[in-house]
């Protein structure tokens, strides 16, 4: 059975899937507006997609803004993410600058988790894993494919590689072209969690076709789903109110 992660008051990997709201403001004003909406809905964790932030190249400004977000969000954990262009994000960034940004952010102690992209290579990943773990920060190691859904064996092997490298939470998101692709993603998640996983896992099939995976992932092993409060950060992302409602209905049904 996969172990759980205790992140402040949130337990990831036990009970119903946790809900993460991404915030994507370009500046402090937009971020404050998004956070004010977040505070009015039910969510378990907030992801700051810093690749949307206009002042991302000013590391001191990023750290200052993250500190402000932590104060405003209070008990809600923060996942810090710089999504690169290669993985569907907004930022072209060198490996050196990526490492420096993450090292500085991790050192503040204001991020509970950081998202590190597997495609950056084992050297970058191992460097940031060591830095994060030395500072008691969890690492979500992620892989995104916006073009296709690889076969089940490839996805399971990708999950296993993330776990072997030391990721606290392996995460895979893929793009489906048909219903079979969605089933492939869910089957790979199920196989990994049942046979190999000793930690929480996140997976999703993107786009409208894959939206079912965002609410049914629990049954196949995914511990967290994303819901939009104001702006979506990925194709097929549902509103947080819809996700909350559906998960509530599913769990009420389970208890009947």
For residue 256, the model assigns a pLDDT of 39
At how many degrees (to 10) do helices 28-38 and 59-73 cross? 20
For residue 43, the model assigns a pLDDT of 87
Give the separation between CA 176 and CA 174, rounded to whole angstroms. Answer: 7
For residue 255, the model assigns a pLDDT of 42
- Give residue-wise pLDDT tens across range 206-217: 988 888 888 887
Alpha-carbon separation of residue 202 from 53, 123, 149 (angstroms): 25, 23, 16
Residues involved in catalysis = 144, 171
- Give residue-wise pLDDT tens across range 237-254: 566 666 655 666 556 644
Q: Whole-model pTM?
A: 0.90
Q: Is the CB of residue 107 less than 8 Å from the CB of residue 126?
A: no
- Give residue-wise pLDDT tens across range 45-55: 999 999 999 99
């Amino acid at each position: 059975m996969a172990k759980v992660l205790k992140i402040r008051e949130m337990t990831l990997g036990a009970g119903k899937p946790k809900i993460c709201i991404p915030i994507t403001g370009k500046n402090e004003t937009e971020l404050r507006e998004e956070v004010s909406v977040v505070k009015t809905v039910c969510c378990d964790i907030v992801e700051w997609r810093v690749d949307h932030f206009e002042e991302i190249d000013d590391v001191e400004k990023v750290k200052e803004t993250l500190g402000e977000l932590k104060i405003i969000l209070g008990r809600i954990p923060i996942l810090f993410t710089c999504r690169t262009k290669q993985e569907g994000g907004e930022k072209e960034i060198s490996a050196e600058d990526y490492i420096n940004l993450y090292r500085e952010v991790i050192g503040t102690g204001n991020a509970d988790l950081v998202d590190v992209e597997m495609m950056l290579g084992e050297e970058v990943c191992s460097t940031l894993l060591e830095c994060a773990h030395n500072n008691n920060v969890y690492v979500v190691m992620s892989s995104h494919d916006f073009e296709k859904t690889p076969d089940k064996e490839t996805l399971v092997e990708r999950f296993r590689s993330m776990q072997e490298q030391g990721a606290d939470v392996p995460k895979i998101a893929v793009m489906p072209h048909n219903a079979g692709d969605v089933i492939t993603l869910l089957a790979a998640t199920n196989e990994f969690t049942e046979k190999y996983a000793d930690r929480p896992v996140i997976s999703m099939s993107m786009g409208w076709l894959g939206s079912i995976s965002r609410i049914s992932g629990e049954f196949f092993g995914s511990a967290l789903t994303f819901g939009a409060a104001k702006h979506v950060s990925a194709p097929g992302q549902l509103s947080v109110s819809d996700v909350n409602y559906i998960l509530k209905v599913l769990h009420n049904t389970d208890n009947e």
